[in-house]
Amino acid sequence: MTTHSPRVFSGMQPTGNLTLGNYLGALVNFVALQEREEFERLYCVVDLHAITTAQEPAALARATREVAAAYIASGLDPKRSIIFNQSRVSAHAELGWIFTCVARMGWLNRMTQFKEKAGKHKENASVGLFSYPTLMAADILAYRATHVPVGEDQKQHLELTRDIAAKFNNDFNVPDFFPLPEPLIQPDTARIMSLRDGKNKMSKSDPSDMSRINLTDDADLIAQKIRKAKTDPEPLPSEPDGLAERPEAQNLIGIFAALSGVSVTEVLAEYGGQGFGAFKPALADLTVAKIAPIGDEMRRLMETPDEIDAVLADGAERAAALARPILREIYDTLGLIGGGSA
């Protein structure tokens, strides 16, 4: 059995403002992996995934640069990590098609994210929205990536990626051709919840802007959103057990712990017994201190889009060089004579 060299791949969609959920659930992890020398790292802005729902072209182009700016502003170094946008490397679309022929209708029918996103209008959803996870599998496996840092909501898509990899290896009798990639999910920050309802995920698509902290919110707006965050009337507990059945309190304490790099137990040791009146100002100060500088840096970068474009172009070239020989092998394995442009 060959062993695949450790390679990290992850992506984010350029479909609106990135939130504190994207930051704590994924970006912090992307940056932490930079310190792990054993990994090669690719971080993609998945613009082809964005068009599974309608996008205004100018807004899509801007959002693509903005996600790249968020990557850089959060601490990703374009020299140490490959940063690029998906549509620039044709291997994604090519392998995506091949995987739509490997994945089974039944597998995709079980995907909860499609059901959520398509809602009541399933018949009107794009075919791309339905087959979205096959393109995600292509993103990862075009590089034979072994590790994928994501939030909890992507776990099912990663399982599908593994199923596709295993079926391909098996159907074409090429054992270990693709690795079975592992999700890297940080349990404490895997699901950051809405500030208006502790039972719903914080999401860039929530109609209420008060439900989320956007990475581009300024200090005043961040503080205001934390001040107005939904809570309950009880004082904070002294132990984590006391947070059960208190989703809003649990979420705010979890955010504090993640942003300050200490455990929930330690946060409660300090704030247990106090009301939200004492805790919220401390959380607001901390969130402003950590997030506002990222927004400032993103704005600075967005003023020089040429610099961002240069990072994306360079990243795409390096990514394509990694994907090209793998794709060549895939076409050969399938009997597709001379296939592929990448």
Closest CA to 161 of 137, 185, 194: 137
Residue 122: active-site member: no
For the question of residue 117 being annotated catalytic, the response is yes
Looking at the Cβ atoms of 48 and 229, the one nearer to ligand TRP is 48
21 contact, one of ligand TRP, ligand AMP, none, CB 5-8 Å limit per kind:
ligand AMP
Among 9, 17, 22, 89, binds ligand AMP (CB under 6 A): 22
Q: Which does 136 bind (CB under 5 to 8 A by kind): ligand TRP, ligand AMP, none?
A: ligand TRP
According to CB under 6 A, which residues from 7 to 36 bind ligand TRP?
A: 9-13
139 binds, among ligand AMP, ligand TRP, none (CB under 5 to 8 A by kind): ligand TRP
- Asked if 25 interacts with ligand AMP (CB under 6 A), we say yes
Q: Please, what is the minimum distance in Å from the beta carbon of residue 151 to ligand TRP?
A: 7
Residue 12 CB, shortest distance to ligand AMP, in Å, is 4
Binding string, residues 145-184; x marks residues near ligand TRP by CB under 6 A: ---x-x---x--x---------------------------
- Considering only residues 40, 47, 94, 139, which one is a binding residue for ligand TRP as defined by CB under 6 A? 139
Question: Which residue out of 122, 167, 204, 230 is catalytically annotated?
Answer: 204
Which residue in 20, 11, 72 sits closest to 252, CA to CA? Answer: 20
Could you say whether residue 96 binds ligand AMP (CB under 6 A)? Answer: no
**Residues in contact with ligand TRP, total (CB under 6 A)?**
14
Q: How many Cβ atoms sit within 10 Å of the Cβ of residue 311?
A: 22
Q: Which of these is catalytic: 115, 117, 122, 167?
A: 117
Annotated catalytic residue within 115, 120, 201, 290: 201
Our finding on whether 49 is near ligand TRP (CB under 6 A) is yes
* Of 8, 12, 140, 258, the one binding ligand AMP by CB under 6 A: 12
The three state secondary structure string of the chain is: CCCCCCEEEEEECCCCCCEHHHHHHHHHHHHHHCCCCCCEEEEEECHHHHCCCCCCHHHHHHHHHHHHHHHHHHCCCCCCCEEEEHHHCCHHHHHHHHHHCCCCHHHHHCCHHHHHHHCCCHHHCCHHHHHHHHHHHHHHHCCCCCEEECCHHHHHHHHHHHHHHHHHHHHCCCCCCCCCCEEECCHHHCCCECCCCCCCECCCCCCCHHHCCECCCCHHHHHHHHHCCCCCCCCCCCCHHHHCCCHHHHHHHHHHHHHHCCCHHHHHHHHCCCCHHHHHHHHHHHHHHHHHHHHHHHHHHHCCHHHHHHHHHHHHHHHHHHHHHHHHHHHHHHCCCCCCCC
Q: Which residues are annotated as catalytic?
A: 117, 201, 204
Residues contributing to the site for ligand TRP (CB under 6 A): 9-13, 46, 49, 136, 139-140, 148, 150, 154, 157
Residues contributing to the site for ligand AMP (CB under 6 A): 12-13, 21-22, 25-26, 150-151, 153-154, 190-192, 201-202, 204
